[in-house]
Structure 1
Amino acid sequence: MAKKKHKHEEHVNLERWLVSYADFITLLFIVFLILFSMSAVDAAKFQALKESFQQVTGSGSSLVMPAPGSTSTPSANINTGASKKKNDIAAEKEKFEQIKKKLEEYAQSKGIEKNVIINIDQNGVNVTVTGTILFANGDATLQPAAKAIVKDMFNIINTIDNPIRIEGHTDNIPIRTAQFPSNWELSTARSTNLIRYLIEEYNFNPKRLSVGAYGEYHPVAPNGTPADRAKNRRVEIMILSSQSPIDKTPKSGEH
């Protein structure tokens, strides 16, 4: 009979638990170090710990939080930026309300409140001057009486350093002269002449200014009556908000 071979018993490694135990103790040690560092609120020590941990694990930046109170805390930066923006918008809106009130009081004092309309919208403060307050019919030269009005109004407008946009509009009555072949040229000349006047007479910073011209194509009323056509012959002076979707010139503190 063949002899049966004896199977050797497998050797059981009774020390495997030591590996897991060592990992556990190491992680526990790191946790206590982090808690101690956070309680001390010492940014320099915390940074040193973070760098040491990065060298050991190679991933410390994702596991170790920024030091308490550190400027590198993302949520703190986001909240601070959002809060500042909200405060800036609120301050700008309050300033716009003050300008609107002063312009309305000025228009009433001069008896031109029917021709000077002030509104606040998403673009900022919109000052609409209609009729012949600034320019005679078919002309783009500032009238003598208009210069005093412009001066007074811009003393109020210029209390804020936001960009200014000036837009010219006409009624639908065609004009064909050597100077103005169409209403396009007339509306352009009116807005640009007002801008030139501000720059030349009051040293207004050109970087704050922009111009638009729309001819007869953006009416605010039907052109069926003289009164409605007078509403469409207008210049709009816009104090642009920092939130305005309209393209803006850079802000500047110089006037």
Structure 2
Amino acid sequence: MNSKDNANKYEMEFNNNWLITYSDMITILLCFFIIFFLFTSEELTSLHTVKESLNNQLDILSNENKDLKMKNDSLAAQLFGLHKNEKGQASTNDDFMTFLEKNNLQDQVDVIENERGLLIRFRDSVLFQSGQSGISQDGYLLLDKIGEQLQQVTNNIIVEGYTDNVPIRTKEYPSNWELSVARSIEVVKYLTETKGIARNRVSVSGYGERNPIDSNSTAEGRANNRRIEIIIAN
């Protein structure tokens, strides 16, 4: 083979080399797009799964929210629609607040609605002398007004007595527990014997220093803990 033929041969081989490179590039691109498609497909599937899961969770939360709203509406109806007497007159928190304002009793009595019913709270100093269970003259005047309002309801009534944690050891009251019970009994006796509230509607409890509503480390806190509570039960 002469030099001219050799030159033509090398030229053909050189000219054909780009086809190999091009073919490899096409193959690599094809592989890339196949892999990309696979990842994209898996990602879309995952996103779809996540979307379905979120939709299910939203449905569950929506149903739970509806249940909670129904329970809340039911509780609100019980709290604000209870305490009706035989004539259908409602005795609610608003009624008692109006009653207290009308009789200038806001500084002596607190009215609170909770899960138990309507709670009327008196500081012990409003009704009793220190360390005593006998109701004071001012206490009788206050209970007389409150008793008139209690006559308007037919719900059961609970009277509870509380003290602070300062020990009491007298001959009449060896402990705070006995003092708290005695005070509750005196209130119940007045409501049933003087105000004519049926005995079978009323119960009495004394808790002594248990269940404080404030700190016993300060004089003000101890004063808040010494209290009588009348609960108009749900």
| TM-score, length-scaled by structure 1 | 0.56
Aligned residue number for residue 162 of structure 2:
169
Equivalent of residue 120 in structure 2, options 100, 117, 127: 127
Equivalent of residue 211 in structure 1, options 201, 204, 212: 204
Percentage of pairs with the same residue: 30
Structure 1 residues 159 and 110, CA gap change in structure 2 (3 angstroms): closer
The residue type paired with residue 233 of structure 1 is: R
SS of corresponding position for 2:125? coil
The residue type paired with residue 162 of structure 2 is: H
Paired with 2:103 and 2:130, the residues of 1 have a C-alpha distance of 21
Shift of 1:160: 1.3
Aligned residue number for residue 156 of structure 1:
149
Aligned residue number for residue 189 of structure 1:
182
SS of corresponding position for 1:127? strand
Larger radius of gyration, structure 1 or 2? 2
Aligned residue number for residue 22 of structure 1:
none
User: 228-237 vs 93-102, which deviates more?
Assistant: 93-102
Report whether the alignment pairs 1:231 with 2:220. no
1:134-155 superposed Cα distances (whole Å, 9 cap, x missing partner)? 1121111111111111111121
1:4-33 superposed Cα distances (whole Å, 9 cap, x missing partner)? xxxxxxxxxxxxxxxxxxxxxxxxxxxxxx
Aligned residue number for residue 81 of structure 2:
94
- Indicate if the aligned counterparts of 2:134 and 2:183 stay in contact, CA closer than 8 A: yes
Paired with 1:186 and 1:223, the residues of 2 have a C-alpha distance of 17
- Indicate if the aligned counterparts of 2:147 and 2:195 stay in contact, CA closer than 8 A: no
Paired with 1:147 and 1:182, the residues of 2 have a C-alpha distance of 25
| TM-score, length-scaled by structure 2 | 0.60
Report whether the alignment pairs 1:144 with 2:137. yes
Provide the aligned length of Structure 1 versus Structure 2: 155
Shift of 1:191: 0.4
Question: What aligned pairs does 1:18-97 form with structure 2 within 5 A after superposition?
Answer: 90=77, 93-96=80-83
Please give the root-mean-square deviation of Cα atoms over the aligned residues, in Å: 2.3
Paired with 1:185 and 1:127, the residues of 2 have a C-alpha distance of 22
Structure 1 residues 107 and 211, CA gap change in structure 2 (3 angstroms): same
Unaligned runs of 5+ in 2: 1-72, 84-89
SS of corresponding position for 2:182? helix
Aligned residue number for residue 107 of structure 1:
100
- Indicate if the aligned counterparts of 1:126 and 1:237 stay in contact, CA closer than 8 A: yes
- Indicate if the aligned counterparts of 1:103 and 1:153 stay in contact, CA closer than 8 A: no
